[in-house]
């Protein structure tokens, strides 16, 4: 699937809608769709607010045992995260939220990877599998 | 930016969210509600989220804040119509919406507000 820009709040809504469509088309249950879209919303907001904007990519993937899944990529070229472990801690916040964005998004998906270095942006990958 | 309408019926303000919420829209709603509470002297707010497909940490925090703001105007907020999938996701996210009442639907929400003396 094409890359989607994340530069405005409207873009965040569009990413959510695309993730919803991909999740529904690939057999995720309503609860799993909702979890994935919620995670996408958190991650897209991070890309916009903390990364200064970036791109999202949505991919349909297959597991070795044949289950379908939806894989999300979010990348930005923002300031990066100095301490990833700290950023993934419940309640840790840059001051604008509850500190549940990243840690919550990680809980809502089946696979989660975060790569970031100060000064060179952040990329997050998240996968949710159909059951 | 889209705007969420606020209806005043008797002493209650009704807000029914029918659009895909973006952060600015929720912030706007918070301000509009505060203005409306101050102007109307309403004693209760019902926020219907039947049509809301996701509540993430930002929207959840804003709902909690609306509850706190209402209390400063001596009004109680009841959130009604949460979808089961949203309730499960919110809980897993770690959000409890503490400080706001919830009810199954608008009718039960009104009962809660009417029971308030």
Of B24, B61, B86, the CB nearest to A97: B61
Give all domains of chain B, ordered by start, each with its CATH number: 6-109 (3.30.750.24)
**Hey, is the C-beta of A35 within 8 angstroms of any chain B C-beta?**
yes
Is A100 within 8 Å of B94 when comparing Cβ atoms?
yes
Distance from CA of B34 to the nearest CA of A (A): 20
Which residues are within 8 A (CB) of A128 and not within 5 positions of it... i.e. 6 or more apart? A23, A28, A32, A35, A36, A39, A69, A70, A108, A109, A110
Q: Residue A97 pLDDT > 70, yes or no?
A: no
Q: Does residue B86 sit at the A interface (CB-CB below 8 Å)? A: yes
- Which strands make up the sheet holding A54-62, listed edge to edge? A3-6, A54-62, A68-76, A122-129, A111-116
Confidence of residue A85 (pLDDT cuts 50, 70, 90): confident
Q: State pLDDT tens for residues A16-62.
A: 999 999 999 999 999 999 999 999 999 999 999 999 999 999 999 99
What tokens were used for B81? 């119509």
DSSP structural state of residue B34: H
Of A10, A17, A41, the CB nearest to B56: A41
Strand spans (E) along chain B = 6-9, 12-16, 44-48, 76-80, 101-103
- Tell me which residue of A70, A78, A69 sits closest to A51, measured CA to CA: A78
**Is CATH 3.90.660.10 correct for A3-129?**
no
Considering only the beta carbons, identify the residue of A30, A97, A103 that sits closest to B58: A97
Backbone angles phi, psi at B103, to 5 degrees: -145, 160
Length of chain B in terms of residues written: 117
With cut-offs at 50, 70 and 90, classify the pLDDT of residue A96: low
Name the residue with higher pLDDT: B84 or A94: B84
Please, which residues have CB within 8 angstroms of residue B41's CB and are 6 or more apart in sequence?
B11, B73
Query: Does residue A86 have a pLDDT over 60?
Result: yes
Asked whether the beta carbons of A131 and A32 are under 8 A apart, the reply is: yes
Tell me, yes or no, if the pTM score tops 0.95: no
Residue A42, chain B, CB below 8 Å: the answer is yes
**Measuring CA to CA, which residue among A53, A79, A67, A80 is closest to residue A111?**
A67
The confidence score (pLDDT) of residue B117 equals: 42
Model confidence over B29-47: pLDDT tens digits?
Answer: 999 999 999 999 999 999 9
* Contact between B53 and A34 using a beta-carbon 8 Å cutoff: yes
CA angle B65, B90, A41 (to 5 degrees): 85
Per-residue pLDDT of chain B (117 residues; tens, 9 = 90+): 789 999 999 999 999 999 989 899 999 999 999 999 999 999 999 999 999 999 999 999 999 999 999 999 999 999 999 999 999 999 998 888 887 999 999 999 999 999 854
Residue A90's pLDDT is 78
Residues 6+ apart with CB under 8 A from B73: B34, B37, B38, B41, B42
Q: State yes or no: pLDDT of A69 exceeds 60.
A: yes
Contact B57 A100 (CB under 8 A): yes
* ipTM of the complex as predicted: 0.90
Identify any residues that bridge with B77 across adjacent strands, giving them in sequence order. Answer: B45
pLDDT (mean) for A104-113? 95
Which residues 87-126 of A have a C-beta within 8 angstroms of B?
A: 90, 97-98, 100-101, 103-104, 107-108
């Amino acid at each position: 699937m094409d890359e989607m820009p994340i530069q405005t709040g409207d873009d965040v809504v569009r990413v959510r809608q695309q993730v919803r469509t991909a999740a529904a088309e690939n057999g995720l249950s309503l609860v799993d769709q909702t979890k994935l879209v919620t995670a996408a919303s958190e991650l897209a907001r991070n890309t916009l607010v903390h990364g200064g904007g970036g791109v999202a990519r949505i991919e349909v993937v297959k597991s070795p045992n044949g289950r379908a899944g939806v894989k999300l990529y979010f990348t930005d070229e923002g300031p990066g995260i100095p301490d990833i472990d700290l950023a993934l801690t419940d309640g840790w916040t840059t001051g604008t939220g509850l500190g549940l964005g990243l840690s919550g998004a990680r809980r809502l998906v089946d696979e989660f990877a975060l790569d970031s270095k100060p000064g060179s942006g952040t990329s997050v990958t998240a996968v949710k599998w159909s059951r | 930016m889209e705007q969420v309408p606020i209806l005043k019926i008797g002493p209650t303000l009704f807000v029914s969210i029918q659009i895909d919420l973006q952060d600015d829209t929720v912030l706007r709603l918070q301000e509009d509600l505060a203005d409306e509470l101050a102007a109307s002297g309403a004693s209760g707010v019902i926020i219907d989220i039947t049509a809301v497909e996701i509540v993430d940490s930002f929207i959840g925090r804003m709902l909690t804040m609306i509850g706190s703001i209402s209390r400063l105007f001596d009004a109680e907020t009841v959130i009604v119509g949460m979808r089961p999938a949203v309730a499960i996701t919110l809980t897993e996210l770690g959000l409890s919406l503490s400080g706001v009442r919830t009810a199954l639907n608008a009718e039960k929400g009104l009962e809660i507000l009417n029971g308030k003396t």
